[in-house]
Structure formats: structure tokens, C-alpha cells
A and B are shown apart, each in its own frame.
Chain A
Amino acid sequence: MSTMTRRIRSRRSEVHNAEAMSHSGPALKTFGYLAMIVTVLIVAVPLFWIVVTSFKERPDIFTQPAQWWPRHATTDGYHNALFGIPFGDYLRNSLIITGILSTTKIILGVISAYALSLLRFPGRNLVFIVVIAALMVPNQITVISNYALVSQLGWRNTYQGIIIPLAGVAFGTFLMRNQFLSIPTEIIEAARLDGAGPLKLLWRVALPMSWPTLVAFSIITVVNEWNEYLWPFLMSDDSRTGTLPIGLTFLQTNDGITNWGPVMAATVLAMLPVLVVFLVLQRHMIKGLTAGAVKG
């Protein structure tokens, strides 16, 4: 259903745009293309610069005027990044923490949303408000007390210390609940009349009909957890549990000159997987982001 609305919508806007452009002269069109080029340059040039730097030999990084292409391309920066810090350990930690945390969040989000949309019980709206209001509480306000609690439990530098405090789901619950509520009641009632129990209703009816939203919610969750910074930064002291974003910053030196070659190489290595995932799955991600926003 939603794909069809989308198609109709994009059709409609295309018709609209075609008309708009036919009114606007070539001057406006030229301006449009110029603006597009400027936009791409502003985003791409810093990224290009970082990639080029990561392949430069050390002295070339520190010459002025800057060189826009490495004179002798070298992978020394990458070698240093991979072996100068325990890059593999950070990668492993990131994979484990993101994997467990995302799976937990997706499951909790789905079952909470299901209970809040398709099951009937007293106080349902109140529970919904309690879940959603958590969105309004910035992580940064909870870190002090959580840090003390987790330290008391002896969970610093452990996976559970990083994962469990982050595992509650508010946004995903909201997103999936709206999705479940959008399933026509006739379908739900029909399934119930056919004798489908609550779990079967979730597994066989609600979830298969919600696939696109679930995918969007999952991707957003994975990307967010992969990039999570503050809590892992407070919880981990070294490569035992530190994630990639934390490991990256250990390459910085506070005294004297940062060795930019390896730092930029590590930055590229850290950016690359997310960018690839994004380029492959961007439609889904954008759908998830806009689903919560553009409905009013």
C-alpha cells in the first residue's frame, strides 16, 4: 500500500516539477546545476582530501601549498593504522557490541510495539507515553548516575556494561507501533477469527506486512549503534571493549604534531563500511527517518 502511495506521490511531484521547469528559463536551470555542483564539492572535497592524505608519504602531508594528489602513493598510513593501534580488536568490539545491541533493540522494539498496538489491556496509552517520553531524555543527563551504577556492578570494561544500559527502545517502538496500527483492522480481525493466537498474529500477519518499516528501523539502529560514542567512551579504557570510534581517537596525540597519515587512514577505514552500507540501503534508511517525521 505504502509503495503505491509513494509512487503516486512521486508521479504527482514529477508532473508538478515538469510544469515548474517549463516555466522557469534556462537561466534558472543553469543556476540549479551550479548549486548542485557547489553542494557536491562541499561534501566531497573534504572526503577526497582525507582519502588523498591517507595515501601520502609522511613529508608530503606537511608541505605547503598542499598537494592534491600523492606524489608517491603509499599504504604506510594504513599499515600504521592497522598495526599501530589494535585496530582488529576495536573492529571486533564494534561488531560484537553493534550486533548484540541492535538485535536486542530490534526484538524489544517489535514486541513492545506489538503489545502497544494490537493487544488490548488497561493503561495501554499510559505505557506508550512512558516509552515515548524516554525520547526526550538526553543520554548525557543519565550518564552520571548510570556510570556510578555500572561501576558498582563491576561492569566497566565489559560488553554488558556497554550494551545493557543502551538497550531500551523508544524510537523503534514508536515507529513499529505506527506501522502496526496502519495495518487494516479487517485483516487483523480476519486473522483472529481464523483462530490465529497473538503470537501467530505477530509472526504471520503483522510482521510480514511491516517488512519495509522493520528493515528501515533495523538499518537506522545498526548505523546509530555503530556510531555510538559517549557511553562506550566512558565505559571502556582500552581495546578490551573499546569500539572503533573510541579506538580512532587513541591515534590522536595530545602532545606535538599528530601523525596525520595513519589517523586519516584509520578514519577512512572507519567511515568506509558505514558508507558502503548506506549506499546500498539508503532508500530504506531514509524511509525510516521520514516515517516518523512526515505524517502530520
Chain B
Amino acid sequence: MTSAAAPPAPVGDPPRRRGRPIGEWGLAGLLLLPNLALLVIFTYRPLLDNVRLSFTSWNISAPVAHYIGTANYVHWWHDPNSHEVLRNTVIFTVATVGVSMVLGLALAMLLDQKLRGRNIVRSVLFAPFVISGAAVGLAFQFVFDPNFGLVRDLGHRVGITVPDFYQQPHWALFMVTVTYIWKNLGYTFVIYLAALQGRRADLDEAAEIDGASPWRRFTKVLLPQLRPTTYFLSITVLLNSVQVFDIVNVMTRGGPQGYGTATMVYQVYKETFVNNQAGYGATIATIMFVFLLVITLVQVRLMDKGRQS
């Protein structure tokens, strides 16, 4: 502080240029080690171990897993339950991703307008996102209850006979899908709203002055600006949807009729922990991971392309 010319190195410190990086290496290692160790032991190790287990016949409590080659994969390929589960997963994922992104954008555009009370509506819309899936599942189990539920009551009032959401597989899947969308819609909404508020409004105004129709302004001006957000959401919402477990487990336990609402994650759980076929469970988990990886990589590719253009 006294002289500007002298470097303000504290006494006893080695010369900065050489001293700092070495000290920083050690410190960086120290700071990163616990987190890295946890991720390696509990994320990367089981990921690899899962692949090994997928080639074994194994009961999760048994000490040794027996190698059986690709038998589990062959079994999965021919297992009619797998086909049902795969179909459920695709329907559920496409519906939740599609509906929540379209509705999320529509609501974000609505509540970006200068409307009275929009802040309250924004909060209300986002609130379900913070409630636990187990609580939402329980609540909606009662909302959809075929005998005493809210949906039955509302249907009755307008003269519709409501189906038995618990017993008919496709209606049960519908119920789980609606519940999931209800809980998670706030997320896509909030992300889109933030993107809308950060966009360049002058582009839209210019297009309007040029006489572009609202639809053209939407597709040619707004959507391209939102493209990075759309890609981001399509990846995160998809990963989250595919992983749904709490709502399915609470509402239907994967049923009715065996695998009526089971998605792949639920099948992994059921084979591993209910049917005591952990090796087969690991096989399904591996297949699911490969699917997810491929889809995500394709999406990231598209995202990069979108950024360049």
C-alpha cells in the first residue's frame, strides 16, 4: 500500500509466478476431491456396474451374480411386457413433453401480456412444481377416484359417464399423464417466460410495421428466437419425464393388469426389487440409458446446428 512500485507480496510467500499455480493445484484437488469421489462412486461406478450386471442372472441380495451372456437382452426383446412398457414409455413421454412445451409456451405468451393479476397467476401456475410427486400422486388418485372423485363428479354434472381410471390400462395411463403434466407444467412455463422477457422486442415490432400477420410473426420471428430455449427444454423435460417414478408408484404401482402404466423406470424397479431379478432389471436400465443417450446426443446435435444457423 505504501509504494506502487514494489509488488505487494506478503513476507514469506514464494515468488508469485511460480508459487501460485502449484499451491492452486493442491487446493483445487482438495476442493474437488469429495464431490468427484461421490460422483465416481455413486454415479459412474454403478453406471458401469449396471452394464456388467445386465449380463448376469442375479437376485439383488445374493452375493454372486452369474454370467449368462446376452440372455437377458434376448428375453427383453421377446418379453410381451417389455413391448407394453416401451409403448407406455413412448406415449407418456411424447404426451408429457409435447403438451407441457406447447401449453407452457402458450401460457408464457399469455402471461407476458400486460394483464391485471398476471403475477398471481404466474405463481399459481408454478406452485405445483414444488410439491412432492408422492403428495400430488395421492391427491390425484382421489381426484380421479372412480366412485367418489372430483372428475367423476364434474363428469356427472355435464352428463358424461367417466371411465374407471384405475382399472382400464389406457385410462390409467391417461390419468398418470395428466397428473404429471399438471405438476410439471410450471417448469416449461417459467423457462419460456424468462426467455420471452429476454428476447428482442424490436424485431417483432419491425415485423409488425412491415405488415406481417400474427401467425407469421409467431413462426418467423418469435419461434426462431426461442429456439435455444426450446432445445434446452426438450432435453430436460424429456429426461425428467422418462424418469418418472413417484407418481406412477403412488397412483397405480405400474398396474392395472400387470404393466398397464409401467414405464421403463418402473419396470427396472419391479424386476429388480419385486420380482427379484436384478440382472434383468439392470438390462432394462442399460437399454433405457442407451436410448436416452442417443436421443440426447441427437438433440444436442440439433441444438448446435440451430445455434449456427
Known: A229-B133, A229-B246, A274-B132. A19 touches B43 (CB 8 A): no
Known: A17-B114, A229-B132. A164 touches B8 (CB 8 A): no
Known: A119-B24, A138-B289. A32 touches B142 (CB 8 A): no
A168 to B38, CA, bound (A): 5
Stretch touching chain B among A69-77, A178-186, A210-218, A245-253: A245-253
Which residue of A43, A44, A114, A293 is within 8 Å of B31 (Cβ)? A114
- 1/0 per position for A214-225, CB-CB distance to B under 8 A? 000000000100
A130 to B127, CA, bound (A): 33
Known: A193-B8, A245-B134, A290-B190. A264 touches B47 (CB 8 A): no
A204: Cβ under 8 A from any B Cβ: no
Residue ID in chain B nearest A245 by CB atoms: B134
> Is B143 touching A46 in the complex (CB atoms < 8 A)?
yes
B117: Cβ under 8 A from any A Cβ: yes
Chain B residues with Cβ below 8 Å from A195 are: 8-10
> Is A165 touching B42 in the complex (CB atoms < 8 A)?
yes
Chain A residues with Cβ below 8 Å from B31 are: 111-112, 114-115, 119
User: Which A106-141 residues sit within 8 Å CB-CB of chain B?
Assistant: 108-109, 111-112, 114-116, 119-122, 124, 127, 130-131, 134, 136-141
A82: Cβ under 8 A from any B Cβ: no
A169: Cβ under 8 A from any B Cβ: yes
B69: Cβ under 8 A from any A Cβ: no
A167: Cβ under 8 A from any B Cβ: yes
Residue ID in chain B nearest A16 by CB atoms: B201
A279: Cβ under 8 A from any B Cβ: yes
> Is A13 touching B118 in the complex (CB atoms < 8 A)?
no
Known: A18-B114, A50-B142, A142-B43. A296 touches B232 (CB 8 A): yes
Chain A residues with Cβ below 8 Å from B132 are: 226-227, 229, 244-245, 270-271, 274
A198: Cβ under 8 A from any B Cβ: yes
Chain B residues with Cβ below 8 Å from A18 are: 114
A4: Cβ under 8 A from any B Cβ: no
From B114, B123, B133, B265, name the one whose CB has the most chain A CB atoms within 10 angstroms. Answer: B114
Which residue of B32, B133, B246 is within 8 Å of A112 (Cβ)? B32
Q: Count CB-based A-B contacts (< 8 Å).
A: 308
A278 to B130, CA, bound (A): 7
Query: What's the minimum C-beta distance from B235 to chain A, rounded to whole angstroms?
Result: 9
Chain B residues with Cβ below 8 Å from A79 are: none
A233: Cβ under 8 A from any B Cβ: yes
Which residue of A40, A145, A165 is within 8 Å of B124 (Cβ)? A40
From B10, B21, B142, B196, name the one whose CB has the most chain A CB atoms within 10 angstroms. Answer: B142
Query: What's the minimum C-beta distance from A216 to chain B, rounded to whole angstroms?
Result: 12
> Is B153 touching A65 in the complex (CB atoms < 8 A)?
yes
Residue ID in chain B nearest A173 by CB atoms: B35
Chain A residues with Cβ below 8 Å from B245 are: 140, 229-230
Chain A residues with Cβ below 8 Å from B110 are: 32, 35-36, 39
> Is A116 touching B130 in the complex (CB atoms < 8 A)?
no
User: Which B213-266 residues sit within 8 Å CB-CB of chain A?
Assistant: 228-229, 232-233, 236, 239, 242-243, 245-246, 249-250, 265
Chain B residues with Cβ below 8 Å from A275 are: 127, 130-131
A61: Cβ under 8 A from any B Cβ: yes
Residue ID in chain A nearest B21 by CB atoms: A120
Query: What's the minimum C-beta distance from A245 to chain B, rounded to whole angstroms?
Result: 4
B68: Cβ under 8 A from any A Cβ: no
> Is B246 touching A145 in the complex (CB atoms < 8 A)?
no
Given A50-B143, A141-B286, A223-B130; 8 other pairs, CB 8 A cutoff: A9-B197, A144-B46, A148-B278, A173-B35, A227-B134, A234-B273, A275-B131, A296-B228
Which 8 pairs across A and B sit closest by C-beta, in order of nearness? A145-B46, A296-B228, A16-B201, A168-B38, A245-B134, A227-B132, A142-B46, A290-B194
Interface residues of A (CB under 8 A from B): 9-10, 12-21, 23, 29, 32-33, 35-36, 39-40, 42-47, 49-50, 53, 61-66, 108-109, 111-112, 114-116, 119-122, 124, 127, 130-131, 134, 136-149, 151, 164-170, 173, 193-195, 198-199, 223, 226-227, 229-230, 233-234, 244-246, 248-249, 251-252, 258, 260, 263-264, 267, 270-271, 274-275, 277-279, 282, 285-286, 289-290, 293-294, 296
